[in-house]
Copies of this chain bind each other. A is one copy, B any other.
Amino acid sequence: MQTTEQQHAPARNDEENSPGPIALSGEVSVDDFARVFRQHPGGVSVITADSPAGPVALTATSVVSVSAVPPLLAFSISHRASTAESIRSARSYVVHFLGRDQLEIAQLCATSGVDRFADRQLWARLPTGEPYFPSAPAWVVGTRINQLDAEAASLILVRATESHVDSDPDSVQPLVYHNRGWHHLGRHSRVE
């Protein structure tokens, strides 16, 4: 969708159209920031990677498409995340896009203190070695090509090298996280 917008022909707003006074504080507290992003839904992904200590996995709502040519995507990871060091030092990732039927995997990989790879029926390894969840209806494998480190988080830029989509993607009801709750999309959520 980022490619469909256009430059606006010059136009200036007039003073009369002010919606009333807006008080600007010049700062955004942790609570303010959390409150705003609770209003911003995100498609649910699980990112896996291998590390010297074994496979790691995390649930994320921060995966975005960056460009189709070359095929680039990005995600953010907090440095406070226990998987952060493994993710930041990994060279390749599997990014899984989850449907309602994978809610259990989304919850598993968002829960602290559990062994996310305890159930050997849930995961396998690709021929290239990366751990992944075969039940995910769509996934990409990619290589880290760049990284933007902020104070307490990193943006990881990934070039996709493999992709997979189930033969019947129309049967998938994608999982969305919003305001601390899980949602799913389908006919029932369409805006007519």
A: residues with CB less than 8 A from B are 1-14, 17-19, 22, 24-28, 30, 32-43, 45, 53-78, 80-83, 86, 97, 99-100, 103, 109-118, 120-121, 123-128, 131, 134, 137-141, 145-146, 148, 150-153, 155, 157, 160-165, 169, 172, 174-179, 181-185, 188-191
Contacting A5 at CB < 8 Å: which of B64, B83, B99?
Answer: B83
Please, how many angstroms separate the alpha-carbon atoms of A125 and B31 in the complex?
25
- Is B178 touching A174 in the complex (CB atoms < 8 A)? yes
A-B contact pairs, 14 of them (CB 8 A): A2-B81, A3-B80, A5-B83, A5-B110, A13-B124, A18-B125, A22-B164, A30-B71, A36-B138, A64-B64, A67-B76, A69-B152, A72-B151, A185-B189
- Is B66 touching A64 in the complex (CB atoms < 8 A)? no
User: Which partner residue on chain B sits nearest A139 by CB separation?
Assistant: B36
Interface hub of A63, A125, A172, A183 (most chain B Cβ within 10 A): A183
Please give the distance in Å from A173's CB to the nearest CB on chain B. Answer: 9
- Is B176 touching A97 in the complex (CB atoms < 8 A)? no
Please, how many angstroms separate the alpha-carbon atoms of A22 and B128 in the complex?
10
Please give the distance in Å from A116's CB to the nearest CB on chain B. Answer: 5
Contacts of A30 in B (CB 8 A): 68-69, 71
- Is A66 touching B150 in the complex (CB atoms < 8 A)? yes
Given contacts A40-B63, A65-B62, contact A28 B163 (CB under 8 A): yes
- Is A65 touching B40 in the complex (CB atoms < 8 A)? yes
Please, how many angstroms separate the alpha-carbon atoms of A30 and B69 in the complex?
7
Please give the distance in Å from A95's CB to the nearest CB on chain B. Answer: 9
Contacting A66 at CB < 8 Å: which of B73, B125, B155, B183?
Answer: B155
Contacts of A17 in B (CB 8 A): 120-121, 123-124
